[in-house]
Amino acid sequence: MAKRNEPSPGSWLRVEELIENGDPEFVKELRRIHDADRLGSFAKVFYNDTRTASRRLLLLYLRTPFNAFRHEALLKRLFKLAEAAKDDEVMACFMVGLDRSIRREKRTRNRYDWTTRESWIEEHVVTPRGTEMPKKGNPFIYQNRMTGEPMAAPTPEKSDRMFLFKMATRKYLRRRVWRYFRQLGTSDLDRYATGISKALVQYTDKDCKDGLAMLDNWGMVQTLFKHSDVIVSKSRTWKLAEGRSLSELRSAPAYASAWLKDAEPLLSMLDLAACRPVRQWSVGMLREHHAKALSQTSLDRLFRWMRSEDAELARFGAELFSQSNVLGSVQTKTWLQLIQQANPDVLDIVCKLVMKTLTADAVSLRDAMDLACSRSVPVAELGMAWLESKESHSDQDFQDLLLSLDAESEHIRPKLVDQVRRKLDRVESKRSQWILEYLDSRFPDVRDVGWTWLQERNEVARDYHLWQRLIETPYDDLRLRVIGLLQYESLPKFSKSSQSMLVDAKSLSPEGIRFLWATALLNIHRGGKQKPGIVKAMIGRLHVHREEANDLLPILAVALRSVRATEWRAGLVGLVTWIEKNPEVSDMVQSHFPELNLL
């Protein structure tokens, strides 16, 4: 049974079964094998297995960190076999893996000058100790050198920083890998460009998370910047030259002539490279030496670049695309797909090209609306421009226009829904229904446009069904506006007859109106300005609908006690006037307003 913190050992039977089936789990199982002798013997069998699946597993194993316990013999023999077989692909994996196994750190130290008696803190770069994977005993248990007693297991973070071979051996092996590719560059430039490209595309942004990490990639820097005067090689590591910075670094590759003959390796690296410095270097080389090849780049490749998550590569693709002389041959469907998939940083460029190339007639109303509803401002503005000239006739067109109510761009949405409102306003038969759609929107800016639309159409204001829906609205801002109308006071945008109609209308649900008033009265933070109006509205309704007195008087009692003194007195005057006209209700009023003396 495995001890605590000790990994369970792998099974050779399981390893053989997995490699026979070409299962990717083989790599995980192989890394759990700690028998160095058996691993060393397995190297030749593993490398010489010519099956496609086995080759894939070999490359997959070499792309994992070189930190599997007791795997020194396996890695070293695979290295020698690949070197002897002139296997560029495997040597490329070793180049990347060995570069990743050495990482320097920036540290600070205190300095003191005895002559001037001044102290300061300076930064320096060191190669950390303790990165060598132990070779004997339990891989996760150390021994105290003084007492011989086992020490506590290291944390997973510390284990992840350990690699096979001593630091000097790792440095030697990566120089030996570079020597292999250097010999290729001397003897066969085409093969050198192809082989070294297989290494460059394996580096990731994690390998170059800062300037120091990038310089620690010995093989990559040799390949891309060997002849640059910005960096110098000292003690088998790369350092910045005195007074220089990485921002000055430009393409200065080893064996530059290997990249001048054909642009395809550079173009392919832009498609495949996962590391920003590699892509930047490729772009620099292409701009400087392959202007003609760039002008002939296929549209499919440019589209891939513009869809890339790398903003720099997307802008580079958009720049070349805008200079292309075949824009007119791009189909409308392709343009629309590009707009939907392009990197957000280049959407403004793409939209400008679309405006120059396509007319509004080339797209349907639904396509224009889909664009107008986009979160991207350039795309939404393009959709709005096309939508302006579109005519709508069918019910499907109207349904498509109503999609604007869910537009994603907060900046464009108010303009868009107002533009659609003007189109919908031409159809009188459905105007009330569409105004209600606006007022039911989840976005306040859409409801604002809908309220403006309602104010402009008094004939819609006489639609009882619309108001019945509005008094049930869940939106506080709209509820307060409706409250302002359910009274006799005149508002600028509505006729007095429309307002009095709303108060007197028997078609409106009395329960709904009472709920609306009660909600505003209970709202502590909002509705303060509407409360005096509610008092007047309820008294006005009592004059018209005396049968609702039992329901309205309790709410009126709460309302009068929640307004200011001046408004309270005005409310009492209205209440007394109502009692004078209807003496039989005095007892009912007295029960709800015991403080009043009605004698």
* Beta carbons within 8 Å of 394's beta carbon, 6+ residues apart: none
Task: Provide the pLDDT for residue 115.
Answer: 85
Residue 292 within a domain: no
The structural domain count of the chain equals 2
Phi, psi at residue 215, to the nearest 5°? -70, -20
Residue 153 within a domain: no
Phi, psi at residue 234, to the nearest 5°? -135, 135
Mark which of 232, 249, 266 sits at the end of a domain.
249
Residue 343 within a domain: no
Residue 493 within a domain: yes
Residue 378 within a domain: no
Task: Give the separation between CA 362 and CA 8, rounded to whole angstroms.
Answer: 65
Cα of 392 vs its chain's centroid, Å: 35
| Contact yes or no for 358/335 (Cβ under 8 A) | yes
| Contact yes or no for 54/88 (Cβ under 8 A) | no
Mark which of 249, 279, 309 sits at the end of a domain.
249
Task: Provide the pLDDT for residue 562.
Answer: 62
Task: Provide the pLDDT for residue 465.
Answer: 66
Task: Give the separation between CA 273 and CA 285, rounded to whole angstroms.
Answer: 15
Instruction: Name the residue among 270, 249, 267 with its Cα closest to residue 259.
Output: 267
Q: Which domain holds residue 525?
A: 478-599
Q: What are the respective helix, strand and coil percentages of the chain, to the nearest 5?
A: 65, 5, 30
- Helix (H) or strand (E) holding 113, with range, is strand 105-113
Residue 314 within a domain: no
The residue assigned the tokens 């910045």 is: 240
Task: Give the separation between CA 81 and CA 44, rounded to whole angstroms.
Answer: 8
Mark which of 191, 219, 249 sits at the end of a domain.
249
DSSP of 384-449: HHHHHT----SHHHHHHHGGGGG-S-TTTHHHHHHHHHHHHTT-GGGHHHHHHHHHT-SSHHHHHH
Task: Give the separation between CA 4 and CA 40, rounded to whole angstroms.
Answer: 28
Q: State the 10-residue block means of pLDDT for the chain, 599 residues long.
A: 53 90 91 88 92 94 90 94 94 95 86 84 82 65 55 58 88 93 92 94 92 91 91 82 87 92 91 93 93 90 92 93 85 89 91 87 88 90 88 84 89 90 84 86 90 78 66 76 57 45 52 65 55 70 74 72 61 74 76 67
Residue 273 within a domain: no
Residue 298 within a domain: no
| Contact yes or no for 352/367 (Cβ under 8 A) | no
Task: Provide the pLDDT for residue 4.
Answer: 46
